[in-house]
Amino acid sequence: MIDKSLRGDYEGSRHGRQRCFWVMGAALLFILLGAGGHAVAALVQDGNPGRGGETLEIKSLLSRERTTVIDFYSPYCYPCVQMTPLLEKLAAAKPEVLFVRLDINRPAVRGIDWQSPLAQQYRLRSVPYFMIFNPQGQLVAEGTAARRMIQGWLQKTGVKQQTGK
């Protein structure tokens, strides 16, 4: 038999523990969301996850609040692979810019897939290939001009010196 006077203490301690779990859960959520309300995510977004090489409309990837850099790459391209950590650091240093990577390779193709529908759609002849759009969705730079802009950002933010390149 349970004494009702003791049950009250048990119920109170149980609610206290539940409250503690809620507070701990809220604190963990606060940490995971980065205290600023932004979900923790990759700094450089994957624009075509699981759909490498397929055609797509770049306009659907653009940010209306920020400049957007589109990076066409292949996992079989050594300069592309080397560029990845630089873009991650640059994305951290320039939160006003959204970086989106597009894999030109179809899943079954080994080597750089120049014949992929995506590479054909944008007439890519070299990778990494960059396109930079302003927040209004207008193309600001592509190809060599875009690469020069990114190199300027790397130097200006000090990212290039940090990597020793």
Q: How does pLDDT run across 23-70, given as a tens digit for each residue?
A: 444 443 333 333 333 333 468 999 999 999 999 999 999 999 999 999
In terms of pLDDT, which residue wins out, 33 or 90?
90
Q: What are the E-state strand segments in 13-116?
A: 44-46, 67-73, 97-103
**pLDDT of 12:** 52
On the CB side of 66, CA atoms within 13 Å amount to: 13
Q: Collapsing DSSP states into helix, strand and coil, what is residue 135?
A: coil
Name the one residue in this structure whose structure tokens are 């750089």.
112
Which amino acid is located at 62 in the chain?
Answer: L
pTM over 0.85: no
For residues 19 and 58, what is the distance between their CA atoms, to the nearest angstrom?
A: 47
Which tokens hold the place of 118? Answer: 């995506």
How is the chain split into domains, by residue range? 1-40, 44-163
Closest CA to 134 of 81, 76, 64: 64
Which tokens hold the place of 115? Answer: 């014949």
**pLDDT of 38:** 36
Distance of CA 66 to the CA centre of its chain: 13
For residues 67 and 144, what is the distance between their CA atoms, to the nearest angstrom?
A: 18
Is 65:112 a contact under the CB 8 Å cutoff? no
Which CATH number does 44-163 carry? 3.40.30.10
**pLDDT of 161:** 61
